[in-house]
Amino acid sequence: MSRRALISPTRSEARVVEPLTFIRVADCETTGFPPDAEIVEIGWTDIRYFPSGWDIEADGQSKFVNPGRPIPEAVTKIHGITDAMVQGGVTPDEARAFIARGPDMLAAHNVDFDSKFLRGHDLPWLCTLQCSRQAWRGFPNYKNETIRQQLGITVGGDAHRAGYDSAVTARILIKLLDVMTIEQMVKVSKPSFQPIRMPFGEHAGKLFDEIPASYLQWIGRSKLAEGIKTAARASLARTAAAPKPAAATVVEEDPDAWRSQIGRS
């Protein structure tokens, strides 16, 4: 039977995490964006709950993956991975099976992206992107490297390579586990999660009903998480359905009213 982490609902209560709970932090470098893309490199860092707390068990590992198709030149310029480098790599299905084999749950910095490539399992996901937006308001942005710098995390390696990115994400995750429960993180990580307040951007921290309608309409058309878009649309619907205050009756002053006072004293 697979172990599952059990943590009390609030930070003020004692946390109970099953010993040796195992989270695999994964990162994919790909040929592009889903659905018409495939993995070219898979990276992972394993963290485990030891008696002393959460710690790294296997750090910054990676494997090349042969996507079975050419890697676009524009994408190679980003991550530096060429067709020649992946020729002897594992298949995408082998990479997916490996990543899901063993852990109690998976984590990634952008679950909405990585989960589309690392599919075919029923493990719960933890999204450090969404959780960081909830945990640490006011960061310039929530890119992996920005959060690393804001938190003072140091990791050696090359950004935009899967092993390095997974190592950074794992350290962000460990810091998140100090301020959020796993239950909270699983909830926030679901694409359908609807925050009460806008978690980032120029209106970060505001209730959705306090945000201008034009901005809410932009959210609804954007590629943000479905839960955020749903929250924006719900706010617009509430505003549209709210009864409009009756217009005040305007009584124009009679410009000749002064004449009626003539002769009265």
Q: Are residues 40 and 86 in the same domain?
A: yes
Q: Whole-model pTM?
A: 0.76
- Residue 211 forms part of a structural domain: yes
So what's the pLDDT on residue 248?
A: 61
262 assigned to some structural domain: no
Q: What is the pLDDT of residue 252?
A: 56
Q: Which of 24-38, 110-124, 159-173, 243-257 comes out lowest in average pLDDT?
A: 243-257
Is the predicted pLDDT of residue 43 greater than 90, yes or no?
yes
Q: Please give the residue that has the higher pLDDT: either 135 or 253.
A: 135
Instruction: Return all residues near 189 (Cβ < 8 A) that are at least 6 apart.
Output: 111, 124, 125, 126, 127, 130, 131
Answer whether residue 72 is part of any domain: yes
Task: Provide the domain count of the chain.
Answer: 2
Say if residue 174 is in the same domain as residue 52: yes
Kindly report, residue by residue over 193-228, the tens digit of the pLDDT.
Answer: 888 888 878 888 889 999 999 999 999 998 888 888
Flag whether 260 is in a domain: no
CATH (domain of 179)? 3.30.420.10
* pLDDT at res. 7: 37
The parent domain of residue 119 ranges over 22-189
* Domain assignment of residue 138, yes or no: yes
Residue 132: pLDDT above 80? yes
Same domain for 195 and 129, yes or no, is: no
| Per-residue confidence (pLDDT) for residue 4, from 0 to 100 | 39
Tell me: do 153 and 68 sit in the same domain. Answer: yes
Residue 98 covered by a domain? yes
204 versus 48: which is more confidently predicted? 48
Looking at the fold, whether 104 and 139 belong to one and the same domain comes out as yes
Contact 165, 28 (CB under 8 A): no
- Considering the domain architecture, whether residues 205 and 121 belong to the same structural domain is answered as no
Statement to judge: residues 79 and 169 lie in one domain: yes
My answer on whether 101 and 121 are in the same domain is yes
What pLDDT score was predicted for residue 130?
93
Domain match, 42 and 77 both: yes
pLDDT, greater one: 85 or 156: 85
Q: Are residues 131 and 199 in the same domain?
A: no
Asked if the structure places residue 6 within a domain, the reply is: no
pLDDT for 20-37, tens place per residue? 899 999 999 999 998 899
Give the pLDDT mean for 232-238. Answer: 91
